[in-house]
Amino acid sequence: DGGITQSPKYLFRKEGQNVTLSCEQNLNHDAMYWYRQDPGQGLRLIYYSQIVNDFQKGDIAEGYSVSREKKESFPLTVTSAQKNPTAFYLCATAGGEVEKLFFGSGTQLSVL
């Protein structure tokens, strides 16, 4: 089935630890995005990539890093510099007639 796979569903981070969230897609979309969702707030853009080997910072990139070595994959690393990482993280691709977003099922990251 075509779609976006995010893993893991739940992730726990210890103090000072880096963690990586996986996002894989087989929709053949060029554009991929990482969003952070906190209760009571709109989705906030962390990073996005329009093409392989290229990515841009979004509104809240500090404390995060990404790579785009393959069209299908756009992993997000939450570094120890991100002091408040607890949130729901959503990966998305864009495609179709109106470039609507297709979302993965999300990863809930919590701090131990």
How many residues sit in the footprint of other proteins (CB under 8 A)? 18
CA-to-CA dists, residue 87 to 55, 68, 101, angstroms: 22, 23, 20
- What x-and-dash track marks residues 48-87 binding other proteins by CB under 8 A? ----------------------------------------
Q: Does 41 bind other proteins (CB under 8 A)?
A: yes
Which among 112, 110, 111, 107 is positioned nearest to 35, based on CA atoms? 107
Residue 92 CA to residue 45 CA, distance in Å, equals 11
Terminal Cα distance for the chain, rounded = 35
CB of 46 to other proteins, least distance (A): 13
One-letter amino acid for residue 88 of the chain = F
CB of 35 to other proteins, least distance (A): 8
* Interface ranges with other proteins (CB under 8 A): 4, 40-45, 88, 90, 98, 100-106, 108
